[in-house]
Every structure is written in structure tokens, then in C-alpha cells.
Amino acid sequence: MEMKQITIKVFGGEQKCASCVNLPSSKETAEWLEAAISRKYPDQLFTIEYIDIFSSVEGENQKFAHQIVEEELFYPVVVINDEIVAEGNPRLKDIYAIMELNGYKDAG
């Protein structure tokens, strides 16, 4: 299977949601995901985008930002291929599974 480069979008805000006080910030989560995924899939390209839902969000990202605020989802919200795959504290196992469905090969 040919690898399809994916973009992982991490939606969140500087201020943590009420239920997420003990968790890392959305931006820290994006950085942690990038480091973990880079170790698991070295030399395989992917992109991590951090999107602040409280700043001016435009285009397709606006739909998700609006949904997070309106439905009071726990953020960070992780979106891959226009699908919400994690809310609050993301599980690496779930994200790895999606990456492998897109052709990424585990280096371990």
C-alpha cells in the first residue's frame, strides 16, 4: 500500500477546558504528538497543525473550531482526514492505527 501523507490537526486553546486542568495544554499536546509520531515513523512525512479555536479560524478549520465550541467538546481535539479521532487526552494507539491505515510503517 502506498503511503498517503497525512495532516494531523490539533484544535485547542491557550486556556484549558474545565475538565482538562491536569492535562497538558493543546499546544503541548501537539508538540508531544509530533515527537511521538516522529519516533514511531522516522523518515515518513506527516504534518501537525495546531489551530487555536479562539483566534480567527477560517476555511475548513472553522467548521471544527465552531463544532468544538458549540458542542463543548474537550480539547485538544485531534482531527485526521477531516475526522475527529481524539478529544481531550489523545491516545497514541488510536492515532498510530489511523496512520498505519494510511500506509505508514512502524519503525520498531
Domain extent listing, the chain: 7-101
- The pLDDT value recorded for residue 13 is 86
Amino acid at 79: V
Domain 7-101 has CATH 3.30.70.330: no
**Which grid cell sits at 63?**
467548521
Give the DSSP per-residue string, 54-75: TS---THHHHHHHHHHHTT--S
Q: Which residues of the chain have pLDDT under 50?
A: none
- The pLDDT value recorded for residue 18 is 63
What's the whole-model pTM score?
Answer: 0.89
Helix-strand-coil percent breakdown of the chain, rounded to 5? 35, 20, 45
Give tens-digit pLDDT for 18-29.
Answer: 666 677 888 999
